[in-house]
């Protein structure tokens, strides 16, 4: 594994793989999800999980600079906090048992979700995704309007040979019936029933343990970018 400290405030060592010990840390945390235990082992989290993820993000920042300059890859800000929001949850465990990062469009801030990329590492769960996972109602309306009125642009993205082969097509929950304002026999009805608009790809834990994982993530993210750009244009 790379040195546990950044070379300076902005430069991190190249990603050398997410350590098995980092995954093992989350297994232990799942069994001991209490503040007292975490505080005793916080340094392990920082060294074995957070820092390797920061190195991965810093590597992605370099490899994605030319193919996705509009996406921000920030080793400090892109990673989700490990602390859970338990205010409205029956599960009062204070800590997440995964490490994840979200990569958003530069300059896009607001009360609603924006199209972006996502990376998640946990015991038995290594996956990445891209799109809109929880779009607001007005965003869904704009997306459907574009799918119906400018279907050529949409179909060009989701029917791309590499995109379709790699991800299998657009994913997400769908309405059981046609959305309000669209007939049941609309030629784009299968796509108009979508409530979520994303793709994702799963990997084994072992794939994430080598430096090659950064290239794997980069290639997947590049294939997702046409969908990200189409969504950004529409919403």
Every domain of the chain and the residues it spans: 20-234
Longest dimension (CA), the chain: 60
CATH number of 20-234: 3.30.930
What is the structure's pLDDT at 103?
A: 97
User: CB of 172 within 8 A of CB of 199?
Assistant: no
Which conformational region is residue 123 in: left (phi greater than 0), alpha (psi within -120 to 50 degrees), or beta? beta
Coil, strand or helix: which one is 176?
coil
What is the structure's pLDDT at 89?
A: 85
**Segments in the chain forming alpha helices (H):** 20-31, 35-45, 51-63, 137-149, 151-158, 161-167, 189-192, 212-234
What is the structure's pLDDT at 9?
A: 52
pTM: 0.92
What is the structure's pLDDT at 11?
A: 78
What is the structure's pLDDT at 8?
A: 46
Closest CA to 93 of 21, 26, 22, 45: 26
Q: Which residues of the chain have pLDDT under 50?
A: 7-8
What is the structure's pLDDT at 90?
A: 85
Render pLDDT for 81-121 as a digit per residue (tens, 0 to 9).
999 998 888 889 999 999 999 999 988 666 678 999 999 99
CA distance linking residue 199 with residue 158, whole number of Å: 10
Q: What is the 3-state secondary structure (H, E, C) of 150-162?
A: CHHHHHHHHCCHH
């Amino acid at each position: 594994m790379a040195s546990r400290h950044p070379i300076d405030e902005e430069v991190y060592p190249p990603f050398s793989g997410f350590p098995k010990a980092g995954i093992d840390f989350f297994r232990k945390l799942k069994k001991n999800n209490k503040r007292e235990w975490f505080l005793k082992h916080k340094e392990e989290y920082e060294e074995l999980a957070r820092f390797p993820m920061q190195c991965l993000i810093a590597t992605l920042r370099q490899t994605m600079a030319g193919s996705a300059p509009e996406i921000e890859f920030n080793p400090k800000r892109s990673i989700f906090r490990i602390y859970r929001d338990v205010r409205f949850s029956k599960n009062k465990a204070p800590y997440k048992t995964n490490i994840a990062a979200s990569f958003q469009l530069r300059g896009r801030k607001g009360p609603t979700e924006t199209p972006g990329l996502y990376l998640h590492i946990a015991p038995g769960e290594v996956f990445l995704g891209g799109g809109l996972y929880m779009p607001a109602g007005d965003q869904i309306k704009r997306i459907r309007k574009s799918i119906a009125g400018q279907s050529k642009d949409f179909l060009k993205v989701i029917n791309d040979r590499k995109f379709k082969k790699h991800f299998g097509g657009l994913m997400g929950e769908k309405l059981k019936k046609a959305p309000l304002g669209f007939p049941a026999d609309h030629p784009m009805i299968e796509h108009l029933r979508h409530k979520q608009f994303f793709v994702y790809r799963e990997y084994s834990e072992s794939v994430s343990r080598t430096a090659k994982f950064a290239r794997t993530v980069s290639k997947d993210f590049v294939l997702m970018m046409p969908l990200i750009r189409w969504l950004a244009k529409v919403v």
